[in-house]
Chain A
Amino acid sequence: MKNAKEVVVEKSLMLIAFSAIFMLFLIAVFIFKEGSPLIFKIGLKNFILSAKWSPLEGQFGILAMIIGSLWITAGALVIGVPLGLGCAILLSEFLPRGITAFLKPTIELLAGIPSVVYGFIGVVVLVPFIRERFGGPGLSVLAGSIILGIMILPTIISISIDALQAVPRSYREGSLALGATQWQTISMVTLKAARSGILASIILGMGRAVGETMAVIMVAGNAVKIPNSIFNPARTLTTNIALEMGFATGDHRAALFATGVVLFVIIMILNILANYAFGKRK
C-alpha cells in the first residue's frame, strides 16, 4: 500500500519531467514546421546548392552561407585545435597538479564571457590589424576564424584535460618503465588512450563554432558571396538568420527558418558524433 501523498508527488514530478521533455521536443518541431515547406517548395538542391540569395526576387540559395560557415569553422579549428590541445597536454602532463587545478577553472571561466565581447575585441583590435597588415576590408573569413578559434579554446582545453587525466596512471608508468621519454609516452600511449575524449572536445568545439552568431556578425563582413580568399568577407548560416530576421516576412522569413533547419541538422550530426566518441571512451 502506498500513501496517497507519495503517489501525488510521483505523478506531478512525472508530469513536470514529461512537459520539460516535450518543450525541448517542441523546438525541433517549430523550426522544421516553419522552415521545411520552403525547402520542399523550391527543392532541396536549389536551396543548398545555389549561391543566389536575393529574397526580394524570391531567390533563396544558401550555398554561399554554407561555404562561409565551412571556411570560418575550418579556420577556427586550425587555430583552436593545436593551441587548445597543446595547452591541455601541458596542463595535464607536465605542470604540477596545483597549477592545473588553478588554471583549468580559470580557462573554463572564459567560456562564460559573452560572445558579443569576443566580437567586440575582434572589431577594435583584430580587424584593424588585418586591414593594415594585409589590406582589404579587414572584416573577413580570417577575422572570424581567429575570433572563433579563441572562443572554442576553453571547450577544447577543458574537455581534453578531462580526457587526458582519465587515462590510468599505470599506462604512463608502464611506458616510462620501458625507457620511453615523457614525450614518447604522451605521443604513443596517453594521446592514443585519450583520443575519443579529445575527438569529442574537438567536435563540441566545432559545434560551438558553427553555431556562434553575434561574434561572427561583428567581424566576418557578412557579404553574400562565396569567399575565394581568407581575406574576403563571408556570411555564415547563423549570421544569415540574425541579419535578416528583423525585417523578413513571408517566404523570406520561411527561408531563414529553412536556414535554421540546415543548421539544426548539422548541429545534431555533430552532437551524435560527439556522443558516439564519448560513448566509445567508456
Chain B
Amino acid sequence: MSKISVKKLDIFFGKTHALKNVTLDVSANKVLAAIGPAGSGKTTFLRSLNRLNDLNPDMRYTGKILLDGKNIYDEDVNPVELRRKVGMIFALPIPLPMSICENITYGPKLAGTKNRAELRELVEKSLEDSFLWDEVKDRLDDPAMKLSGGQQQRLCIARTLALKPDVILMDEPCSGLDPISTAKIEEAMTALKKEYTIIIVTNNTKQAARVGDNTAFFLMGELIEYGETGKMFTAPNDKRTEEYISGRFG
C-alpha cells in the first residue's frame, strides 16, 4: 500500500487555481522529487501534505489526501498532530532564535516529552542522522544562528527528525547552499529514506535525477507526468516534460 495517496486534489487561493486535479501515490521509504518551473504548483502540493496551506485564510480545496489510508482533511484530524507525523524542511535554513539543542527539543517538548535523558538522547540521535553531530557536539548550547548555512539546514533536518515523523517534506532544501553543503544534504537524504518517506521539491532537475526514486513534473498547477525517475529522465511520455528536463524552458 502506498504511504500517501492524493486523490483529485484541487487547491484555490482566492481566485487563483493553484493545483488542478492532482492524483498521485507516494510509496513508503522512497524519495519522490517534484519538479517544475516557478509557479507550477509543486510547493503548493508539498504544503498541502502537512496542511500548511491552511494558514492562508483564502485557501479552498476539493479532493482527498490519504495518509496511511486516512484523509488528513477529515474533521477529526488535528493539523498540529498531523504536522508531527509529516515534518517539513523549508527552502532557506530557518533556525529558531534559540540554542542548537533547544531547536531540536522544541517539537518533542511540545509533544509532551519531558524526560531529560530521553531528550538528550533524541538530540544526539537526530544530529547523527543528519550528519551534524560531529560538528556541533561541543557547542550544543550555542545560538543556532551562529552555524553556517549548510549546518543550519542540517540542523533543520535534525529538528524535523526529532519529531520522529513518518514523512519528511523538503521545499527546495538546497536552494541557498553551496555545492559541498548540498552534497552533504543529499547524502543525508539517501540515508534517511531507509526510515522515512521523503518528498522533495526542487528547481534543480539534476538533483531530482540524483536523489529521486520517483519524479513528478508539475506545470501551471497540473501534474503533467509522474513515474520512475530513471524512465522519466530517459524516455518521458510528454513532450513538455522532455522540454523542461532538457532545459528548454523553466
CB distance from A154 to the nearest CB of B (A): 33
Give the size of the chain B interface in residues (CB under 8 angstroms): 5
A 1-16 to B, binary, CB cutoff 8 A, 1 in contact else 0: 1110000000000000
Complex interface residues of chain A between 176 and 232 (CB less than 8 A to chain B): none
CB distance from A169 to the nearest CB of B (A): 27
CB distance from B79 to the nearest CB of A (A): 8
B96 at the A interface (CB under 8 A): no
Give the size of the chain A interface in residues (CB under 8 angstroms): 3
Query: Which residues on the B side are within 8 Å of A1 (C-beta)?
Result: 75-78
B52 at the A interface (CB under 8 A): no
B235 at the A interface (CB under 8 A): no
Q: How many A-B residue pairs have CB under 8 A?
A: 7
Which chain B residue has the least Cβ–Cβ distance from A6? B80
Where chain A touches its partner, the secondary structure class is: loop
Query: Which residues on the A side are within 8 Å of B77 (C-beta)?
Result: 1
CA distance A2 to B78 in the complex (A): 7
Which chain B residue has the least Cβ–Cβ distance from A2? B78
Complex interface residues of chain A between 1 and 43 (CB less than 8 A to chain B): 1-3
Query: Which residues on the B side are within 8 Å of A2 (C-beta)?
Result: 78
Which chain A residue has the least Cβ–Cβ distance from B76? A1
CB distance from B73 to the nearest CB of A (A): 11
CB distance from B149 to the nearest CB of A (A): 29
A 213-254 to B, binary, CB cutoff 8 A, 1 in contact else 0: 000000000000000000000000000000000000000000
Complex interface residues of chain B between 148 and 171 (CB less than 8 A to chain A): none
CA distance A175 to B135 in the complex (A): 52
CB distance from B59 to the nearest CB of A (A): 16
Which chain B residue has the least Cβ–Cβ distance from A1? B78
Which chain A residue has the least Cβ–Cβ distance from B74? A1
Query: Which residues on the A side are within 8 Å of B76 (C-beta)?
Result: 1
Residue from B75, B76, B77, B80 with most neighbouring chain A CB atoms (10 Å) = B80
CB distance from B71 to the nearest CB of A (A): 13
* A→B interface (CB under 8 Å): 1-3
* B→A interface (CB under 8 Å): 75-78, 80
Listed A/B pairs (7) with beta-carbon separation below 8 Å: A1-B75, A1-B76, A1-B77, A1-B78, A2-B78, A3-B78, A3-B80
**3 closest Cβ contacts across the A-B interface?**
A1-B78, A1-B76, A1-B75
